[in-house]
Amino acid sequence: GENVGLHLPTLSVQEGDNSIINCAYSNSASDYFIWYKQESGKGPQFIIDIRSNMDKRQGQRVTVLLNKTVKHLSLQIAATQPGDSAVYFCAEKISGGYNKLIFGAGTRLAVHP
């Protein structure tokens, strides 16, 4: 659903560790999901996407998992690097809802050396 929040949740990890960022969505009719990375002062950058007929998709150092039963999406980043520090948003597209994206509230990832 629509995001509401005054402060973003923060995930702090050590450089080299794996990161897992979670997202819950509310609309059962959503059939396409995307993860975006947003660095300070910049626009969202596409990371990886997944269709609702899949439960896992892998990219370079990133994996997205989709659990439609509990309406949950996660982004796994392997060997997290300082350059991964940013705010991460999941976004969903509803079947038949034109092309508009509905964004989650976001999670701030802080990578410590």
Site residues (CB under 8 A) for other proteins? 2-8, 31-32, 34, 36, 41-46, 49, 51, 89, 91, 93, 95, 98-106
Which of 57/72 has CB closer to other proteins? Answer: 57
Which of 14/46 has CB closer to other proteins? Answer: 46
Distance CA 48, CA 28 (A): 20
Q: Closest separation between CB of residue 66 and other proteins, Å?
A: 14
Buried b (16+ CB within 10 A) or exposed e, 24-51: ebeeeebbbbbbbbbeeeeebeebbbbe
